[in-house]
Amino acid sequence: MAKDAAKKPVKDTAKKPAKDAATDAVKKPVKDDIKKPAINVADDVAKNEASDSVDEGLKLIQSRPEGILQSELWKELGVDSRKCSRIVKKLEESGLIDRVDFKKDGIKTYLLRAKQQPVNPSDLLAGDELIPCIGCELECVVEECHPLMDWMYQLAIVQNTGE
């Protein structure tokens, strides 16, 4: 047993030097420090791009009164089918589009149509004047319609004086 005891290392019982207070303060944050969330620029950029894709998708769907197939939408938007599905889901949940089952060449897809949105009444007014086309029975060419042109000039005046 004497041989075993000789092989064991001797514990260092000497005290370690005390750390100075300045070093200790640097390593330990004060409890009152407020931690600020890190700003992740990549997340902000991704959110903006996603929002732009949703807006672009809605405009494309709205431009097709007969509707557009979801399998064509992602190709026209230049995104993959997974991202297109997320765009369509957001638009559908927002109540902006209808999504109907559709089979094309034996492949299941969806027909996407924009829902009719209510007209903003302020878009029909120039000041206090209602757009002359409402209730008009004249068949005219828009570019040559004097009542419409007068109304548009009135609208431009109202907008410029309001700014």
What order do you get walking across the sheet with 107-114 strand by strand? 68-69, 107-114, 97-104
Is the sign of the CA dihedral 133, 138, 141, 144 positive or negative? Answer: negative
Residue 159 has pLDDT above 60, yes or no: yes
> What average pLDDT is seen over the chain?
76
pLDDT at position 86: 94
Give the mean model confidence (pLDDT) for residues 26-51: 55
Is the sign of the CA dihedral 63, 68, 74, 76 positive or negative? Answer: negative
Residue with tokens 């004097």: 146
Question: What percent of the chain has a predicted confidence (pLDDT) above 70?
Answer: 66
pLDDT at position 111: 95
Q: Do residues 101 and 70 lie in contact, with contact meaning Cβ atoms separated by under 8 Å?
A: no
Q: Which residue has the higher pLDDT, 13 or 103?
A: 103
Domains of the chain: 42-114 (1.10.10.10), 121-162 (no CATH)
Q: For every residue of 63-119, which 3-state class applies, written as one string?
A: CCCCCEEHHHHHHHHCCCHHHHHHHHHHHHHCCCEEEEEEEECCEEEEEEEECCCCC
Residue with tokens 């492949």: 107
Q: Do residues 72 and 83 lie in contact, with contact meaning Cβ atoms separated by under 8 Å?
A: no
Q: Do residues 112 and 70 lie in contact, with contact meaning Cβ atoms separated by under 8 Å?
A: yes
Task: Tell me the pLDDT tens digit for each residue of 132-147.
Answer: 887 788 888 878 888 8
Task: Tell me the pLDDT tens digit for each residue of 39-95.
Answer: 555 555 555 556 788 999 999 999 998 999 999 999 999 999 999 999 999 999 999
Number of CB atoms found within 10 A of residue 61's CB: 23
Report the predicted TM-score, pTM, of the whole model to 2 decimal places. 0.48
